[in-house]
Copies of this chain bind each other. A is one copy, B any other.
């Protein structure tokens, strides 16, 4: 009905309107929104357009729609936090990487089992040091299935992040990354690399990247200096603003 009037889409304005009503408390947790037909009438727009706005709110986790009943206001899912590895631990200074070594390990049954690399004989181990300025902040050890004809380029080893490295080195398409965050004490070797005291507590971040068939393609273990690296997460930098 109303066409130009502004540069931003009508469904977006509708979604923002409702969002503000929720965040200001006019609409409370559990409240029922007007029906799509009613909203269409109020805003003088077609129902499909209303649905586009509704979909935006549902994506952002502000409402939940139930077939046959209606759309309900829900508390935002503050229980779900997103870790963005691209930014996590990155303060003002960006991180630098220093390649320590790359090894090919053959026929090590024990390691193969530990990694879950069933049926694999050759494993590539990449060890890198992460630094901020001159200060070492973490040790990163990566394990990959050896893939013939997929050489690891020096630049990738130095600069690529873990999921990217796996994607570039594997024929199988990586589809999932599972992470376990735990704590350990620095071994003497780790302490030396991090220029810290032995037995100092350390953050341990383990990642396993899987293919569609749930076959592990790569494993990464980061050991982080407790005072020089923090993981951060936030509930929903989800989707397009709103």
Residue on B nearest A48 in the bound complex, by CB: B48
Residue on B nearest A225 in the bound complex, by CB: B183
Q: Does A198 contact B (CB under 8 A)?
A: no
**A:1-57 near B, CB below 8 Å:** 22-25, 29, 48
Q: Does A176 contact B (CB under 8 A)?
A: yes
Minimum CB–CB distance from A8 to chain B (whole Å) comes to 15
User: Which of A75, A167, A174 lies at the interface centre, i.e. has the most chain B CB atoms within 10 A of its CB?
Assistant: A75
Q: Does A195 contact B (CB under 8 A)?
A: no
Complex contact A201–B173 (CB within 8 A) = no
Give 6 nearest A-B pairs by CB, closest first. A201-B201, A78-B163, A78-B177, A181-B231, A177-B235, A183-B226
Pull 23 A–B residue pairs with CB atoms less than 8 Å apart, ordered by A: A23-B175, A23-B212, A24-B173, A25-B171, A59-B59, A59-B239, A75-B164, A78-B174, A80-B82, A81-B82, A82-B82, A83-B83, A177-B234, A178-B232, A178-B233, A178-B234, A178-B235, A179-B232, A179-B233, A180-B230, A181-B181, A181-B230, A182-B203
Which residues of A are at the interface with B, using a C-beta cutoff of 8 A?
Answer: 22-25, 29, 48, 59, 75-76, 78-86, 161, 163-164, 167, 171, 173-185, 201-203, 209, 212, 224, 226, 230-236, 239
